[in-house]
Structure 1
Amino acid sequence: MSQAKTNARKCAVQALYQWQMSGDSLSRIETYFLEEEHLKGAQKSYFSEIFHGVPKQLDIVDAALAGFVDRPIEKIDPVERAILRIGAYELIYRLETPFKVIINEAVNLAKCFGAEGSHKYVNGILDKVSQTQRAVEIAAKQKQGLPKV
């Protein structure tokens, strides 16, 4: 995966965290990120898609996570919640990106921004989400003799 997309995800975590915590408008938060040059080195269009896509599809994204989390989504740590939502969004809507890449990127985000050990939680949840959202992709890999995850 490109470094520019990785950087876009990092900015999206921070922006979604800010949105969750402040309740500020998406446009105001996005403007802040653009004006303060936080998106330097990031694929701006990817950041924008994720940052606007998660709130726009929040019910679908949270429903994809709900069956696998151990508590109500709103009770999950806000950083982990933002990472899980980005991962679930990508698993649902970015079918051209392999599920393993999405999970790996989310794990790395959790290692960067989350609490100690949060990457294990994120990995476990998104692995389960991928099995429902990407069942065809996983089955094709298994048919080729490749390990599931």
Structure 2
Amino acid sequence: MNDHSSPASQRPPRQTRKGLTSTGARKAASKSARSRAREFALQALYQHLVGRNELTAIDLFTRDLAGFHKADIPHYEALLNGCTQIEADLDALITPQLDRSLAEISPIERAVMWIGVYEFMHCADVPWRVAINECIELAKEFGGTDGHKYVNAVLGGLAPKLRAAEVAADGQRGERPQAPASDA
């Protein structure tokens, strides 16, 4: 038998990633309390954007959803209340990154971008790459087919502006930033 087999033939068989659905989104059992908080905040923000219901009613409805008790409730509250309080500021930051009008953005992608931008601005304990990745996961699970790519581009464009020091530090460590540094 030939001992000179190629390295590829010596590799173990490829394993499937556990904890993912068929679309690549994380399964509920593998989600952290913070990830769950973002999901519930997204659902509440969607209701806010589409139905313009009273925030108290949206919050009560959301807290009654299955699995809410497993969420990081303070983070959910910060996202829901924070995003709705500064929605005009969030839209003002997002709009220059868009290649279409804000009205043409789906409410899911808009709410996901709100969450990402809010975390950039107000959640220093969430690394910028984590914020982007979590928002990509939300867009994959709840948004349109390629919505996650759009979310990634917009948040990647804002990260150098809103988290300039952190993005620069990643660049100095040799990590490739999501988007080129802008006039931060």
The reply on whether 1:124 has 2:162 as its aligned counterpart is no
Matches within 5 A, 1:85-124: 85-124=114-153
Greater radius of gyration (CA): 2
Partner of 1:79: 108
Q: Which runs of no fewer than 5 residues in structure 2 stay unpaired?
A: 1-30, 179-184
The reply on whether 1:57 has 2:81 as its aligned counterpart is no
Aligned positions, number: 148
TM-score, length-normalised on structure 2? 0.76
CA distance in 2, matches of 1:86, 1:126: 10
What is the Cα deviation at residue 37 of structure 1? Answer: 4.4
What is the Cα deviation at residue 142 of structure 1? Answer: 1.3
Percent of aligned pairs sharing the same letter: 32
CA distance in 2, matches of 1:80, 1:62: 12
CA distance in 2, matches of 1:73, 1:88: 15
CA distance in 2, matches of 1:57, 1:38: 27
What is the Cα deviation at residue 63 of structure 1? Answer: 1.4
TM-score, length-normalised on structure 1? 0.93
CA distance in 2, matches of 1:76, 1:148: 25
Partner of 2:15: none
Secondary structure of the 2:155 match is: helix
The one of the two structures with greater contact order (alpha-carbon pairs below 8 A, sep at least 6) is: 1
What is the Cα deviation at residue 110 of structure 1? Answer: 0.5
CA deviation digits over 1:124-145, x for unaligned, max 9? Answer: 1110011211111111111222
CA distance in 2, matches of 1:72, 1:93: 26
RMSD across aligned positions (CA): 1.4
What is the Cα deviation at residue 72 of structure 1? Answer: 2.4
Matches within 5 A, 1:3-82: 3-82=32-111
